A and B are shown apart, each in its own frame.
Chain A
Amino acid sequence: MEKKIALVLILVFGAGSNSFAQTISAPGAPTAGIVAAAKKFLATLDDTQRGKAVFDFKDEAQRKRWSNLPTTIFKRQGLRIGDLAKPQREAVMAVLAAALSPQGYEKIVQIVEADDVLRKSTGQSIFGRDEYYVSFLGQPSATEPWMIQFGGHHLGLNITLAGEQRTLAPSHTGAQPAIYELEGKTVRPLGRETDKAFALLSSLNEAQRKQAILDFQMRDLVLGPGRDGQTIQPEGIKGSALTEKQRQMLLDLGGEWTGILHETVAKAKMEEMRNSIAETWFAWSGPTEKGSAAYFRIQGPTVIIEYAPQRLGGDATKHIHTIYRDPTNDYGAKWWKR
């Protein structure tokens, strides 16, 4: 059944202006709606732009060309948002709105906005909303596999679609500053992740904490960008040692990543995580005081999530890197790779 979702969202990719509100329609939330939005975007491009935006689905170099780093340091390919006209930028955002949940879309917009805050505070044009790139691998299709990439500093979204199946793995989210003021409101792009993790930690009893808390420093993501194909031995406390309420909290925390994608696939992913929650681990490294800079990891049979504050830039709570992976299905490989 086709569903029409009307989203009133703040778009940050205004043409030389500050944020503005726009209504985005995502008709037919399943793949057909995303395909329609993607084709609409491609139709706004000229041949040269289209040639830059669309890669062969088998282009492994482009598939893996994503990073947390600024675009001046790690060169992306595809179309730079700053080089697009306003209707084209809006069409890009409509693709994301169709593919993501409302809260996932909001998170992505806030991450980009954080980079724009960084641009303004540092006066450096290497940051900001213009420095994000969009590309497709393969042609938008409701039946054949294809991929949407959208990323720049602190963002690497890799959405693989194969019919009605979709995955976000692997994707990087991050933020600097991770808390900022915009139009009189305090914005925390990764605030729910942070708060839910501390809530879960504080729910653990002493014996559980002894299992969950690692007694060494975690200075960075273990399985961040460039670590495709690696799988580490899980550590911390196993889901089977958590209470039912704590397991739900763990799922809810993981949902901050799995829920970035549209609910039609996020629900299925959450159900998959729920089915293997007893085999899912939660590990913590660093201080335990609420709001402090601490690392945590969720690792189950089909999910790996890491959250790593970065000490660079001063306050580590204001500079965060995260990664989301599926060790069994990064890039949706099990749907198309033979």
Chain B
Amino acid sequence: MVEAVNRTLCRLALLLALLVFPSAVFAHRDDQYLQASLVAIEPNAVRLQLNLTPGIAVAERVIAEIDHDRDGAISENEAAAYADSLQRDLTLRMDGRNLQLKLTASELVPPEELRTGAGIIQMEFSAIFGPLAAGPHSLTLENRHLTTMSVYLINAAQPRFATVQITRQKRNQNQSAGEIEFSFQPVRRGIAVSAGPT
């Protein structure tokens, strides 16, 4: 009962904030869920880093997707369930073959932070694959997560390994899907590691 009251108060506070500070909405992304994906290709794995930022006007809808019991807090089970749901909405393919994603890290900020429009949900997935043949390859990513409210960014990370060279990136118009063409040239003695970013 107390939690329900708190929840209602939270929503009223948000509504009040929107009424009192409409320009806070005016001044930054409000009605969109920004989903930015960074795709790191390594010699035997792909690492996918997602930064998910719900705008203030869609935060409640995103919170509802996560906080299933509506208790105003995100439990471990709810965080895991949301990661599963996100994972189901992602399709990663290497040379036309589906890759199995595995959650490797996640950080969900509390609902009250998401309601500000500044909270960022971070998820990292990886997909391990067998030895790549030398030569050109194609990696595709499709993101179908909460499409009606989302805007997307998909980018290849600059490879940390000199054996991997990105040759081309293609996206659809709204960047919900992208293709990264790359070449893999194995070296005989160990793996050459290029100078990465600090």
Interface residues of A (CB under 8 A from B): 67-70, 72-74, 118, 122, 124, 126-127, 153, 176, 215-220, 222, 226-227, 229-235, 310, 312-313, 319, 327-330, 333-334, 337
Q: Looking at the complex, which one of A216, A233, A234 makes contact with B171 (CB distance below 8 Å)? A: A216
B34 to A235, Cβ gap below 8 A?
no
Q: Would you give 23 A-B contacts (Cβ < 8 Å), ordered by A?
A: A69-B117, A69-B118, A72-B21, A118-B23, A122-B22, A124-B21, A126-B24, A216-B173, A217-B175, A219-B151, A219-B152, A226-B120, A229-B197, A231-B157, A232-B157, A232-B158, A233-B158, A233-B159, A310-B28, A310-B29, A312-B29, A330-B198, A334-B198
B28 to A70, Cβ gap below 8 A?
yes
A217 to B117, Cβ gap below 8 A?
no
Q: Looking at the complex, which one of A127, A215, A232, A337 makes contact with B156 (CB distance below 8 Å)? A: A232
**Is B187 positioned at the interface, with any CB of A under 8 Å from its CB?**
no
A233 to B28, Cβ gap below 8 A?
no
* A203 CB to nearest B CB, Å: 25
Q: How far is the CA of A261 from the CA of B51 in the complex (A)?
A: 30
B157 to A313, Cβ gap below 8 A?
no
Which residue from chain B places its CB closest to the CB of A216 in the assembled complex?
B171
B21 to A312, Cβ gap below 8 A?
no
* A303 CB to nearest B CB, Å: 12
The listed residue with most A CB atoms (<10 A of its CB), out of B26, B30, B169, is B26
**Is B58 positioned at the interface, with any CB of A under 8 Å from its CB?**
no
Q: What are the residues of chain A within 8 A of B29 when measuring CB–CB?
A: 220, 310, 312
Q: What are the residues of chain B within 8 A of A337 when measuring CB–CB?
A: 198
* A189 CB to nearest B CB, Å: 15
Indicate with 1 or 0, residue by residue over B122-159, a CB within 8 angstroms of chain A CB atoms: 00000000000000000000000000000111011111
B153 to A233, Cβ gap below 8 A?
no
* A321 CB to nearest B CB, Å: 9
A230 to B24, Cβ gap below 8 A?
no
A127 to B27, Cβ gap below 8 A?
yes
A327 to B197, Cβ gap below 8 A?
yes
Known: A122-B23, A124-B24, A312-B28. A230 touches B198 (CB 8 A): no
Q: How far is the CA of A118 from the CA of B116 in the complex (A)?
A: 20
Interface residue SS majority, chain A: loop
Indicate with 1 or 0, residue by residue over B93-135, a CB within 8 angstroms of chain A CB atoms: 0000000000000000000000011101000000000000000
**Is B38 positioned at the interface, with any CB of A under 8 Å from its CB?**
yes
Q: How far is the CA of A330 from the CA of B197 in the complex (A)?
A: 9
**Is B36 positioned at the interface, with any CB of A under 8 Å from its CB?**
yes
Which residue from chain A places its CB closest to the CB of B155 in the assembled complex?
A232
Indicate with 1 or 0, residue by residue over B25-44, a CB within 8 angstroms of chain A CB atoms: 11111101010101000000
Q: Looking at the complex, which one of B26, B152, B172 makes contact with A312 (CB distance below 8 Å)? A: B26
Say which size band chain B's interface belongs to. 35 or more
Which residue from chain A places its CB closest to the CB of B117 in the assembled complex?
A73
> In the complex, given contacts A126-B23, A334-B198, what are 17 additional A-B residue pairs having Cβ atoms less than 8 angstroms apart?
A72-B24, A73-B117, A74-B116, A122-B23, A124-B22, A216-B171, A216-B172, A219-B151, A219-B175, A222-B155, A230-B38, A231-B158, A232-B156, A233-B159, A312-B29, A327-B197, A328-B198
**Is B174 positioned at the interface, with any CB of A under 8 Å from its CB?**
yes
**Is B81 positioned at the interface, with any CB of A under 8 Å from its CB?**
no
**Is B14 positioned at the interface, with any CB of A under 8 Å from its CB?**
no
Q: How far is the CA of A233 from the CA of B194 in the complex (A)?
A: 14
Q: What are the residues of chain B within 8 A of A67 when measuring CB–CB?
A: 118
**Is B166 positioned at the interface, with any CB of A under 8 Å from its CB?**
yes
Q: What are the residues of chain B within 8 A of A218 when measuring CB–CB?
A: 153
Which residue from chain B places its CB closest to the CB of A154 in the assembled complex?
B27
A126 to B174, Cβ gap below 8 A?
no
Which residue from chain A places its CB closest to the CB of B120 in the assembled complex?
A226
Known: A216-B174, A329-B198, A333-B198. A232 touches B26 (CB 8 A): no
Q: How far is the CA of A110 from the CA of B43 in the complex (A)?
A: 48
* A205 CB to nearest B CB, Å: 21
Q: What are the residues of chain A within 8 A of B24 when measuring CB–CB?
A: 70, 72-73, 124, 126
B151 to A312, Cβ gap below 8 A?
no
A176 to B51, Cβ gap below 8 A?
no
Q: What are the residues of chain A within 8 A of B169 when measuring CB–CB?
A: 233, 235
Q: How far is the CA of A229 from the CA of B155 in the complex (A)?
A: 14
Which residue from chain A places its CB closest to the CB of B26 in the assembled complex?
A313
Q: How far is the CA of A222 from the CA of B116 in the complex (A)?
A: 21
Q: What are the residues of chain B within 8 A of A68 when measuring CB–CB?
A: 28
Which residue from chain B places its CB closest to the CB of A319 in the assembled complex?
B27
Q: What are the residues of chain A within 8 A of B198 when measuring CB–CB?
A: 229, 327-330, 333-334, 337
Q: How far is the CA of A218 from the CA of B173 in the complex (A)?
A: 9
* B177 CB to nearest A CB, Å: 10
* B191 CB to nearest A CB, Å: 19
Q: What are the residues of chain A within 8 A of B157 when measuring CB–CB?
A: 230-233
Q: How far is the CA of A233 from the CA of B49 in the complex (A)?
A: 15
B23 to A127, Cβ gap below 8 A?
yes
Q: How far is the CA of A222 from the CA of B159 in the complex (A)?
A: 17
Q: What are the residues of chain A within 8 A of B117 when measuring CB–CB?
A: 69, 73
* B184 CB to nearest A CB, Å: 15
